[in-house]
Structure 1
């Protein structure tokens, strides 16, 4: 959200391009780090509610693993290839779309109660 709203406004105001680029890279890294932390937290909660086997067999577990892989790839690309911004953007978008699919999934406790 910050990349689509604040950064173009900073460019229009006339801030130095390097400053705008630095702000964009730092906010992207913080956002992906937070997404990775939230995915780990949700994996732990899912394992506690439905067991460790659910982390691989259930769609929610697989989607959370996909978010973790996207976050790890984002930081790996940033570390190995400093100018590979498009790969970082791809990882960013994969994490975002996977998060949207996760929102549509039923809550684990409610899904367990619905089964006979």
Structure 2
């Protein structure tokens, strides 16, 4: 249950921001610079939240399948890829704040990784179905 909740929160949040909130703010008529600033600030918070949720998901996966599942299991590989995208996002934010396109690229990699993670089965669910 923790796996699914954290997944909905971070993956859903990433996608809702760019396909729901920011277009709605632009449609309402807010100044484009204000919409861009809101997007940048909320994106940073969502990426930090994704790091927390991804860490929880990694713990759930390790409890269900063991430590080696982080690099042998597709879910673990996707979580590791998400963590790399998060680290790159914050490294670019701290080191090269003008590299907004690269930050957006990291954000999109994180979002696509999350979508691929949604398609994977929940850890431990298949084990319960066999018993």
TM-score (norm 2): 0.76
Give the equivalent residue in structure 2 for 1:107.
Answer: 122
Q: Of the candidates 90, 107, 110, which is equivalent to residue 92 of structure 1?
A: 107
Q: Is residue 31 of structure 1 aligned with residue 46 of structure 2?
A: yes
Q: Of the candidates 81, 95, 108, which is equivalent to residue 96 of structure 2?
A: 81
- Seen in structure 2, the aligned counterparts of structure 1 residues 18 and 44 have a Cα distance that, compared at 3 Å, is same
Q: Which has the higher mean CA deviation after the structures are superposed, 41-50 or 18-27?
A: 18-27
Q: Gapped runs of 5+ residues in structure 2?
A: 1-15
Q: Is residue 72 of structure 1 aligned with residue 90 of structure 2?
A: no
* RMSD value, Cα: 2.0
Residue-by-residue CA offset, 1:9-32 (whole Å, 9 max, x unaligned): 434555444433321111100111
* Higher RCO by CA contacts (8 Å cutoff, separation 6 or greater): 2
- Seen in structure 2, the aligned counterparts of structure 1 residues 105 and 13 have a Cα distance that, compared at 3 Å, is closer
Give the equivalent residue in structure 1 for 2:72.
Answer: 57
**Is the radius of gyration larger for structure 1 or structure 2?**
1
TM-score (norm 1): 0.85
Q: Gapped runs of 5+ residues in structure 1?
A: none
